[in-house]
Amino acid sequence: MTKPIPIVPPETLGLTRLENGLRVIVEPMPHVHSASVGIWITSGSRQEDAGREGAAHLWEHMAFKGTPRRSALELAMALDRLGGLSNAFTGREETCFHARVVDSGLHEAFDILSDMVVNPLLDETELELEKNVILQEIAAVEETPEEFVFEHFWQAVWRDPAVAHPILGTEESVRGFTIEGMRSWREQWHRPERIIVSAAGAVDPAAFTRAAARLFERLESGPKTPQPTPPLFTPRSSAIERDVEQSHVILAFPSVGLTHDSRYTVACLSALLGGQMSSRLFQEVREKRGLAYTISTSPHCLTDCGLLEVYAAASPDRTGELLDVLRHELRDVAEGGITEEEVSRAKDHLGGLVLLGAESTEERMLRQARNVALHGRPVSVEEAAGRIAAVSLDDVREAAASLSRLDEAALFVLGPRIDPSWAKTFDTAFDTP
């Protein structure tokens, strides 16, 4: 008999706003002996002006390069000595520094992460070294088809440059960054009202909140920054010919953002279409026809906009057949072919992922930071699971109807040779991105 996952009652999810506007969210998990802590900043590549592409990501790297209290090596040694895991990431709308440690190391990990965020040295020599590291990172993306195709597809379909440009920046923008530019970026976007400190696991909410108030008391709130306007999506068919082994195909339809009420419906549609092993595309494309090893669908969303993306990698000789299958399956789904059993299976799959995530201190910490950033409040496991369970067959069919509107879709192909007839499968023609 399996043990039930201990679920934290919603009323124990404590959200506190400090005097300077910084928010603290704590989710205790009494059954564990570890904890995760994260510093979530609600700014990423979308906040970058022209010429500053890559600033958020470069600043993330520079935060590890030392503080007045700790050198870069001492930061690395201190984090390693805690015996856990630490990392950081930059997205289009967020930057996050996080660590997972045994419970006895939580407050030291929090002290280290906050020191990096609040007191970075921003040394000129370290900046030049890290710019070179990021230039190598950009080169690696260009040489990795699975990453290259998504990066260039995203640039092709969004008209807003702030949304479209690469998170890593460009060679030109990265080479142009200065210490003064890094300081200016931090002062503008790393205000306390844009910071959410999140912890989950073996953590005392009151003690953790007091520590947050002490560690971030130096930060002062600033003028309110304007909200970005929703970007415009461009339906188009684009192709890039390159010396790669396979054709990498992305087919995408405009969808909802992360704050939209129907996001759970779109997640169910994505799961039954190509998000699980029993899904339509996995079975038809891979299991029955052997057209591709990689076939998947996923929502790719920001706060106020999103795409439902289908991705596959296939032999160039069979790319036309792959696209025919995609067209057929999408038409069937759009015309009401979805069954109650498919929706039920997708809901069970997604609900299971929510519960599996509930066992992880890191997953809970990141989930609640994201919830506070998007919705202004924590969202309990019960609420998330309940929203998934409430999705109906009619909801999914209504969302799927948009998949018949091929004039609103975008197709992108990267491959060793491009056949113009591939675009005709979707009643369009290739242009150049």
Those residues whose C-beta lies under 8 Å from the C-beta of residue 307, and which sit 6 or more positions away, are 157, 233, 252, 253, 254, 255, 299, 300, 301, 410
Task: Tell me how many degrees the CA angle 93-73-98 measures, rounded to the nearest 5.
Answer: 30
Residue type, 43: S
Instruction: Give the catalytic positions in this structure.
Output: 60
Those residues whose C-beta lies under 8 Å from the C-beta of residue 210, and which sit 6 or more positions away, are none
Residues 250 and 411 sit within 8 Å (Cβ to Cβ): yes
Residues 14 and 25 sit within 8 Å (Cβ to Cβ): yes
Residues 95 and 328: their CA atoms lie apart, in Å, by 40
Residues 373 and 95 sit within 8 Å (Cβ to Cβ): no
Residues 199 and 39 sit within 8 Å (Cβ to Cβ): no
- Of residues 47, 72, 67, the one with CA closest to residue 184: 47
Q: What DSSP state is assigned to residue 252?
A: E
Those residues whose C-beta lies under 8 Å from the C-beta of residue 221, and which sit 6 or more positions away, are 20, 21, 191, 192, 193
Residues 134 and 175: their CA atoms lie apart, in Å, by 10
CA atoms within 13 A on the CB side of 76: 7
Residues 107 and 24: their CA atoms lie apart, in Å, by 14
CA dihedral 298, 301, 307, 310 (to 10 degrees): -20
| 3-state SS class at 285 | helix
Return the axis-axis angle of helices 124-142 and 145-157, rounded to nearest 10°: 100
Residues 68 and 45 sit within 8 Å (Cβ to Cβ): no
Token pair recorded at residue 247: 């054709």
Token pair recorded at residue 392: 């109906």
Pairing verdict, β 306-314 and 247-255:
antiparallel
Q: How far is CA 221 from the centre of its chain?
A: 26
